[in-house]
Amino acid sequence: MKPAPFAYHRPATLDEALALLAEHGGEAKPLAGGQSLIPAMNFRLARPAVLVDLNRVAELGYVRAGRDGLQIGAMTRQRAVERSDAVRSAAPLLAEAMPFIAHPQIRNRGTVGGSLAHADPAAELPAVMLALEARFRARGPQGERWIPAGEFFTGILETALGPDELLLEVVVPKSPARTGYAFAELARRRGDYALVGVAARVTLDRRGRCQAARITLFSVGDGPVLAAAAAAMLDGQEPSPEAMRAAADAAAQRDIDPPSDIHASAAYRRRLAAVLTRRALARAVERAAQASQ
Partner 1 sequence: MTATGRYMGARVRRNEDARLLTGRALFVDDVHLDGMLHVAFLRSDYAHALLRSVDVAAARRRPGVVAAYTAADLGDYWRPGPLLVPPPPIRGLVFHARTQVPLARDRVRHVGEPIAMVVAESRYVAEDALEDIVVDAEPLPVVVDLEAALAPGAPLVHDDLGSNVAAHAVQRKGDYARARAAAHVVIARRFRYDRGAAAAIENRGIVAQWDPRAEELTLWDTTQAPIPIRNGLARLLGLLESQVRVIAPFVGGGFGPKIMMFYPEEVLLPWAALRLGRPLKWIEDRRENFSATTQERGQIHDAEIAVARDGRILGVRDVFLHDTGAYDPYGLTVPINSQCTLLGPYDVPNYASEFTAVFTNKTIVTPVRGAGRQHGVFVIERLLDFAAKQLGIDRAEIRRRNLLRPDQFPHNHEIIFQDSAPLVYDSGDYAPALERARELIGYDGFVQSEQARLRAAGRHVGLGLVCYVEGTGIGPYEGARVTVEPSGQVRVATGVGTQGQGHFTAFAQIVADVLDVEVDQVHVVTGDTREFHWGTGTFASRGAVVAGSACHAAAVRVREKVLELASGLLGAPPDRLELAGGRVRVRGSSDSAIPLGELALRANPLRGAVRPGTEPGLEATAYFGPDRGSTASGVHAMLVEVDPETAQVEIQRYVVVHDCGRVINPMIVEGQIQGGVAHGIGNAFYEQLVYDEAGQLLNASLMDYLLPTATDVPAVEMAHHETPSPLNPVGVKGVGEAGAIPTGAAFAQAVEDALSDHGVEITEIPLSPNRLFELIEAARSARAR
Partner 2 sequence: MDQQVPIGVTVNGVRHERAVEPRLLLSDFLRHELGLTGTHVGCEHGVCGACTVLLDGDAVRSCLILAVQADGHELVTVEGLAPPGGGDELHPLQAAFREAHGLQCGFCTPGFLMTLVPFLREHPHPSEPEIREALSGHLCRCTGYQGIVAAVRLAAGSAP
Using CB under 8 A, list all residues that contact partner 2. 1-8, 10, 34-35, 38-39, 41-43, 51, 53, 55, 79, 102-106, 108-109, 189-191
What is the amino acid identity at position 119?
A
* Angle, CA 74 vertex, CA 19 and CA 101 arms, to 5°: 135
Q: Whole-number minimum distance, CB 30 to partner 2, in Å?
A: 13
The Cα-based distances of 138 to 107, 245, 250 in angstroms read: 23, 39, 34
Closest CA to 276 of 216, 211, 208: 216
Task: State the nearest-atom distance from the C-beta of 101 to partner 2, in Å.
Answer: 11
4 binding partner 1? (CB under 8 A)? yes
Build a one-symbol-per-residue string for 191-230: x at contacts with partner 1 by CB under 8 A, - elsewhere: xxx-x-----------------------------------
Nearer to partner 1, 190 or 206 (CB): 190
Is residue 263 at the binding interface for partner 1, with CB under 8 A as the rule? yes
State how far the Cα of 248 lies from the Cα of 42, in Å rounded to an integer. Answer: 40
For partner 2, the closer CB: 87 or 256: 87
Span interacting with partner 1, options 51-59, 81-89, 243-251, 256-264, rule CB under 8 A = 256-264
Shortest distance (Å) from residue 122 CB to partner 1: 11
Question: Which does residue 268 bind out of partner 2, partner 1, none, counting CB within 5 to 8 angstroms by kind?
Answer: partner 1
Cβ at position 264, least distance to partner 1 in Å? 5
Report d(CA 184, CA 188) in Å as an integer. Answer: 14
Output the smallest distance, CB 39 to partner 2, in A. Answer: 4
Size of the site for partner 1 (CB under 8 A): 24
CB of 274 vs partner 1, minimal distance in Å = 9
275 binds partner 1 (CB under 8 A): yes
Within the chain, what is the greatest distance between any pair of CA atoms? Answer: 62
Strands 63-66 and 50-53, how do they pair?
A: unpaired
268 part of the interface to partner 1, by CB under 8 A: yes
Residue 46 found at the interface with partner 1 (CB under 8 A): no
Query: Considering the complex, what minimum distance in angstroms separates the CB of residue 5 from partner 2?
Result: 4
43 near partner 1, rule: CB under 8 A: yes
Could you tell which of partner 1, partner 2, none binds residue 272, using a CB distance below 5 to 8 A set by kind?
partner 1
Q: Which residues bind partner 1 (CB under 8 A)?
A: 1-5, 43-44, 186, 188-193, 195, 262-265, 267-268, 271-272, 275
